[in-house]
Amino acid sequence: MDQHLFSLRYFLPQSEQGIIGGHEAQPHSRPYMAYLAIWHGNNSSFCGGFLVAKNFVLTAAHCNGDKIIVVLGAHNITKNESSQQVIPVRCQHPHQDYDKESHNNDIMLLELESKASLNGDVGLIPLPVAHQQMPPGNVCSVAGWGRTSAYNNLSSDTLQEADVEVMPDSACPRNRRGIYHDYNPSTMMCVGKKEKGKSSFKGDSGGPLVCQQTAQGIVSWGSEMGTPPAVYTRVSTFIPWIRKTMRMLQP
């Protein structure tokens, strides 16, 4: 166990995108969740991710870094839990068309240096069928260790979760001066009812949007204040890319 990794946890700066309006998850109820400790030189940040094969974690492309260490089987990320598996990333595979300005194609596969041991605390989450649509009105869930309020910089030691509703694309209007001007319905999902006030937020990037027990979305971006809706990468669009990339890298 890398103790240095966990001492860093107290002063990690925030990544691009905790859960607003959520609650603590039942420990190890989401065995697919991954915590990503990311370094850019001497600077560190963190993201979420999710295990899709024994040696692959799916996350957002903007969660890249010079070095990434993945922690699986965690609930309280500041504690040395016996359930945790700490595995360095061998190689980062961001989508070749990722655009950091528009957030388009915000998806990345992380190839792990060794295979995860699957057990009750660490497991895989299924991916959707290619190009499957998740109709508006479906209630899904999101989880992460990120910030729980726009009014402080505190992220959560324990995994937080919230139920969020899939919204029509029109709820993320592409007004030139609005925050959703780069919204792309073919590669993104608009999620979270404004009135409910529940949303992913800074530090949750890369975590999964789980609908009907499949990973339909990846936390990507949203408003500076964490007000819903937030924007998620539409995983079903990228199933051919995910399958091809994993096939190419399998020994």
Report the catalytic residues.
Answer: 62, 106, 205
User: Are 233 and 221 in contact, with CB atoms under 8 Å apart?
Assistant: no
Exposure string over 137-169, b if 16+ CB within 10 A, otherwise e: eeebbbbbbbbbeeeeeebbeebbbbebbbbeb
User: Are 129 and 237 in contact, with CB atoms under 8 Å apart?
Assistant: no
Judged on CB neighbours under 10 Å (0-12, 13-18, 19+), 5 is middle
By DSSP bridging, strand 67-72 and strand 139-144 are unpaired
Strand partners, 49: 34
User: Are 3 and 37 in contact, with CB atoms under 8 Å apart?
Assistant: no
What length is written for the chain? 251
